[in-house]
Amino acid sequence: MKGQLRGAPRIVRVAAAQMGPIQVSDSRESCVQRLCALLHRAADQGATLVVFPELALTTFFPRWFVEDISMVDHYYERSMPSPATAPLFAAARDRNIGFSLGYAELTADGQRFNTQVLVDQTANVVAKYRKVHIPGHASHEPGRAFQHAERYYFSPSDEGFGVWSAFGGRVGMMICNDRRWPETYRELGLQGVELIVCGYNTPLNYIPDPSQDRLAGFHHALVMQAGAYQNGTFVVGVAKGGCEEGVDSLAESLIIAPSGEVLAKTVGNGDEVVVADCDLEWCKNYQNTLFDLDYYRRPEAYRRHIAQRGPSTKADGSPLR
Ligand code: ING
């Protein structure tokens, strides 16, 4: 066990820039104006990194199913930066603040991803991450009050999870449903992550099991606080919240410390900025003690994590279903 605790502070002042709803009638330009206003509010508070939500440039279009997917091509970006997002990159450069931004990506060869970029304080794209865990369904489910057809509109990433040296530390990205899977945090933890930035769009009504609805905020905080603590990393989760095209979505954006404690939380469900000073050295208090992964982990005992997608047999060894 390495044992060293935190050294000289390495403070990153991080802003969670929550958005309220984006209605289908709201233009991309109006979204970029809102994002620029949020960036300026973050910079005014001294932040050097501002985190924006998932799919922050358009309404959450997977809530509708369209047979001809080319009918929604306009919801995707073909480049980042793009002409529409250029003002955000310019504002970031002017204010010497980095950001992460979620958007729908359409590649030149026609692949569709739910994507997030990390941009440094000189407005250079440091990294691009494509969502690994795609929730919802892949075909039209007409009985639903609203669709959640992400598996129709997005392919899962084949690149996995990355961690990049930026903002004086090791920064990783995840998107929305990724935050519910412990594998996400450990894949990042095994790359030495110190700060994970995440955007989300989470309807308060989970149609497959409405009994979970009353626990939406609890489950959202639970998974991010656990992931932060179990990997000794900061986690920032930022919502697109409020009532968007008739669908109420979770707000409750959070900045969480490696201890698992909440350092900052939004109180409304609209456009709102909360800020926290994240001393990345705090990670060492956990990564060099309780969660010294290289000292305590037993990969030889975890083979099922890689070998299986789901459970293969019952406890008595009999085949499942
Ligand atoms: N959204 C959801 C999430 O994991 C979901 C999926 C929908 C969960 C509704 C619960 C209720 O937060 C995305 N975009 O991954």
Is 278 part of the annotated catalytic residue set? no
Query: Which residue is catalytic, options 31, 36, 54, 252?
Result: 54
48 within a domain of the structure (yes/no): yes
Alpha carbon distances (Å) from 138 to 64, 67, 131, 247:
12, 11, 16, 20
The pLDDT, as a whole number, for residue 55 is: 98
Q: Are 130 and 104 in contact (CB under 8 A)?
A: no
Give, using CA atoms, the residue closest to atom 12 of ligand 1.
202
What is the rounded distance in angstroms from the CA atom of residue 163 to the CA atom of residue 189? 9
Q: Is 116 in the pocket of ligand 1 (CB under 6 A)?
A: no
Distance 23 CA to ligand 1 centre (A): 18
Q: Are 19 and 269 in contact (CB under 8 A)?
A: no
Taking every pair of C-alpha atoms in the chain, what is the biggest distance, in angstroms?
A: 63
305 within a domain of the structure (yes/no): no
How many domains does the chain divide into? 1
SS3 190: coil
Atom of ligand 1 nearest to the CA of 134: 15
314 within a domain of the structure (yes/no): no
Distance 82 CA to ligand 1 centre (A): 27
Element (H, E) at 232: none
Is 176 part of the annotated catalytic residue set? yes
172 within a domain of the structure (yes/no): yes
DSSP state of 320: P
Query: Which residue is catalytic, options 31, 105, 150, 176?
Result: 176
The pLDDT, as a whole number, for residue 3 is: 78
Q: Is 176 in the pocket of ligand 1 (CB under 6 A)?
A: yes
93 within a domain of the structure (yes/no): yes
Q: Is 184 in the pocket of ligand 1 (CB under 6 A)?
A: no
SS3 216: helix
52 within a domain of the structure (yes/no): yes
312 within a domain of the structure (yes/no): no
Pairing of strands 112-119, 125-130: antiparallel
Atom of ligand 1 nearest to the CA of 62: 14
CATH number at residue 98: 3.60.110.10
302 within a domain of the structure (yes/no): no
Q: Name the H helices within the chain.
A: 28-44, 86-95, 150-153, 182-189, 216-231, 284-287, 293-296, 303-307
For each successive 10 residues of the chain (321 residues), what is the average pLDDT? 87 99 98 99 99 98 98 98 98 98 98 98 98 98 97 97 98 99 98 99 98 98 99 99 98 99 98 98 98 98 96 78 61
The residue range of the domain holding 172 is 11-291
Atom of ligand 1 nearest to the CA of 60: 14
Q: Which two tokens stand for residue 275?
A: 């800020």
Q: Which two tokens stand for residue 64?
A: 């509708």
Give, using CA atoms, the residue closest to atom 10 of ligand 1.
206
Neighbours of 311 (CB within 10 A): 10
Type of residue numbered 151:
R
pTM, two decimals, is 0.97
The pLDDT, as a whole number, for residue 321 is: 61
